[in-house]
Amino acid sequence: MTSKDLILRRIRAALGDTAVPDVPRDYRRAGAGKPDIERLVDRLVDYKAVVHRGSDIAGIVASLEPGRLVVPPGLDPAWLPPGVGTVEDEHDADAVLTAATVAIAETGTIVLDGSPDQGRRVISLLPDLHICVVRPDQVVAAVPDAIARLDPRRPLTWISGPSATSDIELNRVEGVHGPRRLHVILTDR
Amino acid sequence: MSTFLGMPATAPRGVGHLRGDESFPEAARKALGNEQLRRNLAHATTTIRGKSGAVVAELPDWQELRSAGSALKAATMARLPELLEQLEANVTAAGGVVHWAADATEANRIVTGLVEATGHRRVIKVKSMATQEIGLNEALEAAGIAPVETDLAELIVQLGHDKPSHILVPAIHRNRTEIRDIFLREMPGVDPALTDDPATLAAAARRYLRETFLSTKVAVSGANFAVAETGTLAVLESEGNGRMCLTLPDTLITVMGIEKVVPTWRDLEVFLQLLPRASTGERMNPYTSMWTGVTPGDGPQEFHLVLLDNGRTAVLADEVGRQALHCIRCSACLNVCPVYERTGGHAYGSVYPGPIGAVLSPQLTGVADNASLPYASSLCGACFDACPVKIDIPSILVHLRNEAPHPRTERIAMAAAAYTMDRPALYARAQHAAKLSRHATRLPPPLNGWTASRDLPQPPPETFRDWWAAR
Ligand code: SF4
């Protein structure tokens, strides 16, 4: 007997004729709340992310002095400040500039799904500074709204603030392995 | 013989970390003498409890989420064979390979074989209870493969040749000076002038691990959830070491207990709200990675999922005890437990400490192998109140106490303890009285043995149960 057969048989023997209970779904489901951008800002800041607002993306990026910048292949070229050169290899980059797929107001979370304007997962992981552009129509109220919008077959990275650890006497330290700084640019439209 | 094949089985002896070398009371007595441990634990549990309470209070539908989470888990267990096969089919369709491991020995053999097949001798690891449970690191080392823990706390534990003491903050028993000393002693290339500032220590770990991340081709992880409907795996973490392990290597091997499956993608909307708030007291953990099989051109191009039984079917066979399998490893029950707070995680002898450990370990191993653990509790009920999926730990404890075969002497000692512990009302009243007096320096029996020679911290103005009832 294969281990698969063995385990499945063991489970069936253990369960007997256990009934499947109904799942009550009276928590707030998708569509229960309005996307609240002010709340998103509040939550992002609470997580030590820095929030910029406005439509001059290239200008804001330039003001952050990104150094060697890596960008995903499908990024809007208008977001790149003139004179800032991009590098091909994320290992050499100081910063990364990406778009996002969804932002969750209630938790201060940004989700990347590997679309052409977000790129492979590794590019938003190795550089020390992650600059992420979020449009108002990408903001949802809560976790169920994000789940409803996302495609689980894409590789998904949910980001809530920069990398952090509390492993040493519970002191929060930003940046152990991921980007130590997260800057979010919230555009007007 | 065939009648025994396919019957639920407990985790085998001699492999993995589910059984301690000594009974809980013996181990606890030693731990109680460690003042540093008790101070660190009290600080950690109080802090996390406070943070968690605040973010839980933000959600108007917390109780509804708990009810949904609890029912979802029960519904999952009732449909487990069907869901596991669905998961296997979807992971396979997305380019992954699924393996089934009846116990720790088989899981270790599978993972070791997969690593050997890559030709590499080093793996990077994401913190995972399942791989600790089966003793995977020891098995890999025996095969000449070096496992490197990449979670900061797990790294501290590994470099300190130590054992984790908390599910969430495994090195909570160490203070900053001890951590600096461990780094100075064990971390190659570390600056000899290293200070004990937490940011400096974290930076040292970052430097040390970066090179390892970038040069290691195989990673081993656990999983917080696996979605049957889509074949999607999810890992929740804070530091980014998880993202490193899940995206940089060529080969990813994930070891997951069979109980971690959830039926649908939509069901994650429940658990992704419950877990971070109950666990670290955050609205969301800094990083969650989700992947389905392999994605061409992005991340590991070879993915293996190992589905682990190792005693879980024996837990499932117990109608009262099976809800211990609903656990999402948030550690909230540890942080509210007066017994855990005084003894720390090592006293439980298993990788699963605290209240959940007191019910899960004896069921995984068979109660005879962990007979003292069902008594490692005051039955005050705080763990039940704190649990985001409403596991009734006190009832399972009482149930397991009746199952435990005891030698005569132990039986007599425990009968006395059980008299009080089996009467939660009595304990609640004692707790209530302590609150009213605000002068109590002793715990009620049988915990008075532990407080007879040491002061009990001032009781909080209200008990957790009262606070919960009032909110
Ligand atoms: S038993 Fe409940 S509270 Fe304890 S770790 Fe598991 S899910 Fe969390």
Set of chain A residues whose Cβ sits within 8 Å of the Cβ of B322: 14
The tokens of B467 are what? 């606070």
Q: Which among A159, A166, A163 has a CA at the least distance from the CA of A181?
A: A163
Sign of CA pseudo-dihedral B48, B49, B50, B52: positive
Residues B296-327: tens digit of each pLDDT? 999 999 999 999 999 999 999 999 999 999 99
Stretch B113-142: mean pLDDT: 96
Q: Is the pLDDT of residue A27 over 50?
A: yes
One-letter amino acid of A118:
Q
Neighbours of B102 (CB within 10 A): 21
Decide whether any atom of ligand 1 lies within 6 Å of the B332 Cβ.
yes
B461: DSSP letter: S
Radius of gyration of chain A, Cα coordinates, nearest whole angstrom: 21
The tokens of A184 are what? 């979010």
Contacts of B383 (CB under 8 A, 6+ apart): B332, B333, B336, B337, B354, B355, B356, B377, B391, B393, B394
In chain A, the percentage of residues whose pLDDT exceeds 90 is: 82
Q: Categorize the per-residue pLDDT at B1 as very low, low, confident or very high, splitting at 50, 70 and 90.
A: very low
Residues A90-116: tens digit of each pLDDT? 988 999 999 999 999 999 999 999 999
B206: DSSP letter: H
B residues 234..253 contacting A (CB < 8 A):
238-241, 243-244, 247-248
pLDDT at B413: 54
Set of chain A residues whose Cβ sits within 8 Å of the Cβ of B289: 121, 155-158
pLDDT at B4: 65
Asked whether the beta carbons of residue B68 and residue A167 sit closer than 8 angstroms, the reply is no
Cβ of B65 under 8 Å from any chain A Cβ? yes
Set of chain B residues whose Cβ sits within 8 Å of the Cβ of A122: 247-248, 298-299
Nearest CA in chain A to B61: A27
Q: Is A25 exposed, middle or buried (0-12, 13-18, 19+ CB in 10 A)?
A: middle
pLDDT at B398: 94
One-letter amino acid of A56:
D
pLDDT at B251: 98
Q: Is the pLDDT of residue B14 over 50?
A: yes
Q: Is B60 exposed, middle or buried (0-12, 13-18, 19+ CB in 10 A)?
A: exposed
Are residues B317 and B266 in contact, defined by beta-carbon separation less than 8 angstroms?
A: no
Q: Is the pLDDT of residue B448 over 50?
A: no
Rounded Cα distance, B203 and B206, in Å: 5
Separation in Å, CA of B283 to nearest CA in chain A: 5
Rounded Cα distance, A128 and B119, in Å: 32
Q: Closest ligand 1 atom, CA of B324?
A: 1
- Residue of B8, B75, B291 lying closest to A23 (CB–CB): B75
Neighbours of B350 (CB within 10 A): 25
In chain B, the percentage of residues whose pLDDT exceeds 90 is: 66
Least-confidence region, from A170-179, B110-119, B256-265: A170-179
Asked whether the beta carbons of residue B316 and residue A15 sit closer than 8 angstroms, the reply is yes
> What are the phi and psi torsion angles at B251 (to 5°)?
-125, 135
Asked whether the beta carbons of residue B287 and residue A12 sit closer than 8 angstroms, the reply is no
Asked whether the beta carbons of residue A10 and residue B313 sit closer than 8 angstroms, the reply is yes
Cα B297 to averaged position of ligand 1 atoms, centre (Å): 37
Stretch A137-161: mean pLDDT: 97
Q: Is the pLDDT of residue B391 over 60?
A: yes
Least-confidence region, from B27-41, B130-144, B330-344: B27-41
B residues 121..160 contacting A (CB < 8 A):
150-153, 156
CB burial string B404-443: b at 16+ within 10 A, e below:
bebeeebeeebeebbebbbebeebbebbeebbeeeebeeb
* Residue bearing the bigger pLDDT, B425 or B21: B21
Asked whether the beta carbons of residue A21 and residue B175 sit closer than 8 angstroms, the reply is no
> What are the phi and psi torsion angles at B367 (to 5°)?
-60, -30
pLDDT at B467: 53
Decide whether any atom of ligand 1 lies within 6 Å of the B360 Cβ.
no
Separation in Å, CA of A125 to nearest CA in chain B: 7
Q: Is the pLDDT of residue B456 over 80?
A: no
pLDDT at B406: 58
Question: Could you tell me how far CA A55 lies from the centroid of its own chain?
Answer: 21
Q: Categorize the per-residue pLDDT at B464 as very low, low, confident or very high, splitting at 50, 70 and 90.
A: low
Are residues B242 and B290 in contact, defined by beta-carbon separation less than 8 angstroms?
A: no
pLDDT at B181: 92
Q: Is the pLDDT of residue A118 over 50?
A: yes
pLDDT at B363: 97
Set of chain B residues whose Cβ sits within 8 Å of the Cβ of A73: none
Stretch A31-40: mean pLDDT: 96
Residues B213-250: tens digit of each pLDDT? 999 999 999 999 999 999 999 999 988 999 999 999 99
Rounded Cα distance, B10 and B16, in Å: 13
pLDDT at B375: 92
- The enclosing H or E element of B237 equals strand B232-237
Asked whether the beta carbons of residue A176 and residue B240 sit closer than 8 angstroms, the reply is yes
Cβ of A74 under 8 Å from any chain B Cβ? no
Cα B286 to averaged position of ligand 1 atoms, centre (Å): 20
Query: What is the rounded (10 degree) CA torsion for B84, B85, B87, B93?
Result: 160
Residue with tokens 């708030």, as numbered in its chain = B277
Q: Categorize the per-residue pLDDT at B274 as very low, low, confident or very high, splitting at 50, 70 and 90.
A: very high
Question: Could you tell me how far CA B358 lies from the centroid of its own chain?
Answer: 12
Contacts of A160 (CB under 8 A, 6+ apart): A47, A107, A108, A109, A110, B282, B283, B284, B285, B286, B287
The tokens of A45 are what? 């800041």
Q: Categorize the per-residue pLDDT at A177 as very low, low, confident or very high, splitting at 50, 70 and 90.
A: confident
- Residue of A18, A108, A177 lying closest to B284 (CB–CB): A108
Decide whether any atom of ligand 1 lies within 6 Å of the B388 Cβ.
yes
Cα A103 to averaged position of ligand 1 atoms, centre (Å): 28
* Residue bearing the bigger pLDDT, B192 or A42: A42
Cβ of B317 under 8 Å from any chain A Cβ? yes
**Residue nearest atom 8 in ligand 1 by C-alpha distance:** B330
Are residues B274 and B225 in contact, defined by beta-carbon separation less than 8 angstroms?
A: no
Rounded Cα distance, B126 and A56, in Å: 39
The tokens of B211 are what? 């090179």
Rounded Cα distance, B366 and B389, in Å: 24
B447: DSSP letter: T
Q: Is the pLDDT of residue B416 over 50?
A: no
pLDDT at A156: 98
User: What predicted TM-score, i.e. pTM, was given to this entire model?
Assistant: 0.89
Cα B281 to averaged position of ligand 1 atoms, centre (Å): 14
- Residue of A15, A43, A164 lying closest to B78 (CB–CB): A15
Instruction: Kindly report the average pLDDT of chain B as a whole number.
Output: 87
By most ligand atoms within 8 Å of CB, the mutation choice from B168, B333, B336, B397 for ligand 1 is B333
Range of A81-95, A128-142, A173-187, B404-418 with top mean pLDDT: A128-142
Cis peptide before A116 (omega within 30 of 0): no
Among A18, A167, A171, the strongest candidate for a mutation testing the B interface, having the largest count of B CBs within 10 A, is A167
- Concatenated DSSP letters for B3-27? TTTTS--PPPTTSSSSS-SS-HHHH
